[in-house]
A and B are shown apart, each in its own frame.
Chain A
Amino acid sequence: MKKSTVFRYLFLAIFNSFVVYSIPLTITFESWFLLSLILLISLLVNIVYFSDRFLPMKWILPGMIFLISFVVFPAVYNTFVSFTNWSTGHILTKSQVVNILESRTFTPEDQQGIEFDLYVFQDTNLEFYYLADIDDQNILFGKAVTFENINDSNFAVHEPSLIQNGDIIPPSGFNLLTGKDQIANSTTLQELSLVIDENTRAQLFKISVFGASTGLLSSTSQLYTFDESSDSITNNSTNTICMAEVDNFVCDGEEIDPGWRVFVGFDNYQKLFSNQRIRGPLSLVTKWTFQFAFVTVLLAFSVGLFLSLVLNKENLKFQRIYRAIFILPYAIPAFVSVLVWKGLLNPDYGVINTWLSPLYEMLEIEPIQWLKTKESARSAVLLVNTWLGFPYMFLITTGALQSIPKNLIEAARVDGASSLQTFWRIVFPLLMVSISPLLIGSFAFNFNNFTLIFLLSGGGPPVIGSEVAVGWTDILISFSYKLAISGGRGNLFGLASTVSIIIFALVLLISAISFRYTKRLERIYGNI
Chain B
Amino acid sequence: MEISKFNNWFKEFGWRHLVALIFVVFAIYPILYVLTNSFADFANLTNSKLIPDSLTLKHYKLLSGNPLVPYSDWLYNTYKISIIAAFFNVFLGTLAAYAFSRLQFKGRRASLLTLVIVQMFPSFLAFVAIYLLFFQISDVIPIMGLGTHFGLILVYLGGSIGFNSWLIKGFMDTISPSLDEAAKVDGASEFQIFSKIIAPLTRPILIVIFVITFIGIYSDYILAAIFLKDKNLWTVAVGINTVFVDDFNADWGVIAASSVIAATPIAMLFIFFQKQITGGLTAGSVKG
List A residues at the B interface (Cβ < 8 Å).
Answer: 4, 22, 25-26, 29, 31, 33-34, 37, 55-60, 62-64, 66-78, 80-81, 86, 303, 306-307, 310-311, 313, 315-318, 322, 324-344, 346, 348-351, 387, 391-392, 395-396, 399, 434, 437-438, 441, 444, 448, 450-451, 454-455, 477, 480-481, 484-485, 493, 496-497, 500, 503-504, 507-508, 511, 520, 523-525, 527-528
B130 within 8 A of A: yes
B123 in complex: contacting residue of A71, A86, A335, A387, CB < 8 Å: A71
Residues of chain A with a CB closer than 8 A to B103's CB? 55-56, 59
Bound complex: CA of A72 vs CA of B91, how far in Å? 20
> Which 6 A-B residue pairings sit nearest by Cβ, starting from the closest?
A70-B158, A59-B99, A63-B92, A74-B126, A74-B129, A331-B270
Q: Which residues of A contact B123 (CB under 8 A)?
A: 70-71, 74
* Contact, CB under 8 Å: B278 / A72: no
What 20 new A-B contacts, CB under 8 Å, besides A60-B96, A71-B162, A349-B249?
A: A33-B136, A62-B96, A63-B165, A64-B96, A66-B92, A71-B159, A77-B133, A81-B132, A316-B13, A322-B24, A324-B271, A343-B255, A348-B46, A348-B249, A349-B45, A438-B282, A441-B285, A480-B128, A497-B128, A497-B129
The CA-CA distance from A336 to B125 in the complex, in Å, is 22
Is there an interface contact between B48 and A351, defined as CB atoms closer than 8 Å? yes
B266 near A396 with CB under 8 A, answer no
Q: Give the interface size bracket for B toward A.
A: 35 or more
A5 to B93, CA, bound (A): 23
Q: A329 to B27, Cβ gap below 8 A?
A: yes
Which residue on B lies nearest to A31, using beta carbons?
A: B136
Nearest CB of chain A from residue B167's CB, rounded to whole Å: 11
CB distance from B246 to the nearest CB of A (A): 12
Measured between beta carbons, the chain A residues less than 8 angstroms from B200 are: none
Q: How far is the CA of A525 from the CA of B115 in the complex (A)?
A: 12
Task: Report B-chain residues with C-beta under 8 Å of the C-beta of A441.
Answer: 285
A242 to B95, CA, bound (A): 59
In the complex, per-residue mask of B121-153: 1 if CB is within 8 Å of any chain A CB, else 0? 111111111111100110111000000000000
List, sorted by A's number, 9 A–B pairs whose CB atoms are closer than 8 Å. A60-B99, A303-B23, A344-B33, A348-B249, A396-B282, A450-B221, A454-B221, A524-B287, A528-B112
- Residue in A455, A511, A527 whose CB lies within 8 Å of B120: A511
Residues of B within 8 A of A485 (CB): 131, 226
Interface centre among B95, B125, B267 (most CB of A within 10 A): B125
> Given that A63-B161, A74-B133, A332-B266 are known contacts, is A481 also in contact with B113, CB under 8 Å in the complex?
no
Residues of A with C-beta under 8 A to B237: 333, 335
**Residue pair A33, B133 in contact (C-beta under 8 Å):** yes
A212, chain B: closest CB distance, angstroms: 47
Are A437 and B285 in contact (CB-based, < 8 A)?
yes
Residues of A within 8 A of B124 (CB): 448, 450, 477
Assess the A339–B270 pair: CB atoms within 8 A: no
Cβ contacts under 8 Å, A341 to chain B: 30
Contacts A70-B158, A318-B17, A349-B45 given; indicate if A31 touches B139 (C-beta within 8 A). yes
Assess whether A70 is in contact with B263, with CB atoms less than 8 Å apart. Answer: no
| Residues of B close to A349: CB separation below 8 A | 44-46, 48, 248-249, 252
> B183 an interface residue at 8 Å Cβ cutoff?
no
In whole angstroms, what is the CA distance A68 to B105 when docked? 20
For residue B218, CB closer than 8 A to chain A, the reply is: yes
Docked complex: B161-195 residues within 8 A CB-CB of A: 161-162, 165, 170, 190-191
Within the complex, the shortest CB–CB distance from B68 to chain A, in Å, comes to: 17
Residues of A within 8 A of B266 (CB): 331-333
CB pair A507–B113 under 8 Å, yes or no, is no
Q: Which of B125, B129, B244 contacts A448 (CB 8 A)?
A: B125
Write out, one digit per residue, whether chain B residues 80-124 have a CB within 8 A of any chain A CB (1) or not (0): 000000000000110110111001010011011101111111111
